[in-house]
Amino acid sequence: MSTRLAGANLSLLTAALLAAGASLLPVSAMAKVGVTSAADGDPRGKPPSEAERVLRVGVDVQANELITTSATDRAHLMFLDGTSLSVGPNAQLTIDKFVYDPATKTGDLAINASKGVFRLVGGKISKTNAISVTTPSSTIGIRGGISIFNVDQKETTSIFVFGISMTVGARGKMEIVTRPGFQVTTLFGALPGLASAVPPGALSGFLAQLEGSKGGGQSGGADQAAQNSGFSSANSGQGSGNTLGNRFGSGPGPRNANPSNIVTNAITNAFETAPSNAPTLPSKVVSNSGQMTQTITYNGVMGGLVRNNGSFSYGTGSYTQVWSMGTNSGTTTANFNNSSYSGTTTRNGNYGFQANMPTTNPNTPGRTMTMNGAFAGQGYPSTQAGVFTVTGPRYQAAGGFLGQKAP
pLDDT digits (tens, 9 = 90+) for 307-357: 888 887 878 889 999 998 888 899 999 999 889 999 999 988 767 889 999
* Mean pLDDT score across all residues of the chain: 74
> Which residues share a beta bridge with 110?
97, 132
Rounded to an integer, the average pLDDT of 139-146 is 88
Among 148-152, 285-289, 383-387, name the one with the lowest average pLDDT.
285-289
Examine the pLDDT at 208 and tell me if it is beyond 60.
Answer: yes
In the chain, what's the furthest Cα-to-Cα distance?
68
pLDDT digits (tens, 9 = 90+) for 159-181: 998 888 899 999 888 898 888 88
* pLDDT value, residue 377: 65
Cα(78)–Cα(120) distance, rounded to whole angstroms?
A: 10
Residue 198 confidence class, pLDDT cut points 50, 70, 90: confident
- Which residue did the predictor score with more confidence, 234 or 299? 299
Residue 212 confidence class, pLDDT cut points 50, 70, 90: low
* pLDDT value, residue 379: 58
Rounded to an integer, the average pLDDT of 244-265 is 36
* pLDDT value, residue 172: 85
Which of 26-35, 203-212, 355-364 has the largest mean confidence?
355-364
Examine the pLDDT at 275 and tell me if it is beyond 70.
Answer: no
Examine the pLDDT at 28 and tell me if it is beyond 80.
Answer: no
Examine the pLDDT at 219 and tell me if it is beyond 70.
Answer: no
Cα(77)–Cα(68) distance, rounded to whole angstroms?
A: 12
158, burial (CB in 10 Å: exposed 0-12, middle 13-18, buried 19+):
buried
Examine the pLDDT at 358 and tell me if it is beyond 50.
Answer: yes
The model's pTM is 0.54
* pLDDT value, residue 333: 97
Examine the pLDDT at 296 and tell me if it is beyond 80.
Answer: yes
* pLDDT value, residue 184: 94
Residue 372 confidence class, pLDDT cut points 50, 70, 90: confident
Cα(133)–Cα(120) distance, rounded to whole angstroms?
A: 10
* pLDDT value, residue 199: 85
User: Of all residues in the chain, what percent carry a pLDDT higher than 70?
Assistant: 71
* pLDDT value, residue 252: 35
* pLDDT value, residue 4: 38
* pLDDT value, residue 348: 81
pLDDT digits (tens, 9 = 90+) for 73-127: 999 898 988 888 999 999 999 999 888 888 888 889 999 999 999 999 888 898 8
Among 71-85, 240-254, 270-284, 368-382, name the one with the lowest average pLDDT.
240-254
pLDDT digits (tens, 9 = 90+) for 6-21: 333 222 222 222 222 2
